[in-house]
Structure 1
């Protein structure tokens, strides 16, 4: 069993990576979701990375993959009870991001101007 320094450490290990919190967020919005729907919702992720992140979330028992064994293939993803509880824990972060989106955009724009240097 991995040693965690605190509860936040345990949580961050589960959601490590740029896309896992977004995957959990979009799966929490409704019922089972097809891969293509997730791919469209999470715009900038590559297929390779999305597939890898979904496999890791499934291995961590946060996401359930259902393969209907049909032709053409039909697979969907949904949250497990553990995944639902984690998605609910992310709600305050979503709220904070929504409430502070303009300020965060301003900070990032300012930071980008530092990288470009003087005009």
Structure 2
């Protein structure tokens, strides 16, 4: 198998493996939930905070920054007093909804089996 290049179009990648690079970002605890919240509408920071419930302001801010940096969401600042900032999905973010919904559906359908397997593993481990 040919070696992956660390550079494409003059841009050097921190992680040359596309799978690892993307999953490191969207596979965290909050990114999928943020993307799902933005699926049908544009939201402000505090609306996202309420929607997600148990995320800290700092973690939401960091997650939004990473999703914006990777092109999944667009952050729009309106020149008003007080400033209004809104977040929405980009075309790239919208294109990710199909595989994301497939993953969410799979997780929903198999969550019980996974939990049961964990319990069974715990029983074996104690023997």
Q: Is TM > 0.5 for Structure 1 vs Structure 2?
A: yes
1:25 equivalenced with 2:36 (yes/no): yes
Structure 1 range deviating more: 12-21 or 42-51: 12-21
Partner in structure 2 of residue 67 of structure 1:
77
- 2:102 pairs with one of 77, 92, 99: 92
Shift of 1:36: 1.7
Shift of 1:16: 4.1
Higher strand share: 2
SS in 2 for 1:100: helix
Separation in structure 1 between the aligned mates of residue 77 and residue 32 of structure 2, nearest angstrom:
23
SS in 2 for 1:89: helix
State the structure with more CA Rg.
Answer: 2
Q: Which runs of 5+ in 1 are unaligned?
A: none
Q: Taking structure 1 as reference, are residues 58 and 46 closer, same or farther at Cα in structure 2, changes over 3 Å only? A: same
SS in 2 for 1:99: helix
User: What are the equivalent positions in structure 2 for 1:74-113 lying under 5 Å apart?
Assistant: 74-107=84-117, 110=119
Structure with more relative contact order (C-alpha pairs < 8 Å, separation 6 or more): 1
Q: Which runs of 5+ in 2 are unaligned?
A: 1-11
Separation in structure 1 between the aligned mates of residue 31 and residue 76 of structure 2, nearest angstrom:
19
- Superposed CA deviations along residues 31-67 of structure 1, whole A, max 9, x for unmatched, are 2112122111212210001001101111111110111
TM-score, length of structure 1 as denominator length: 0.77
SS in 2 for 1:4: coil
TM-score, length of structure 2 as denominator length: 0.73
Number of aligned residue pairs: give it: 113
Partner in structure 1 of residue 54 of structure 2:
44
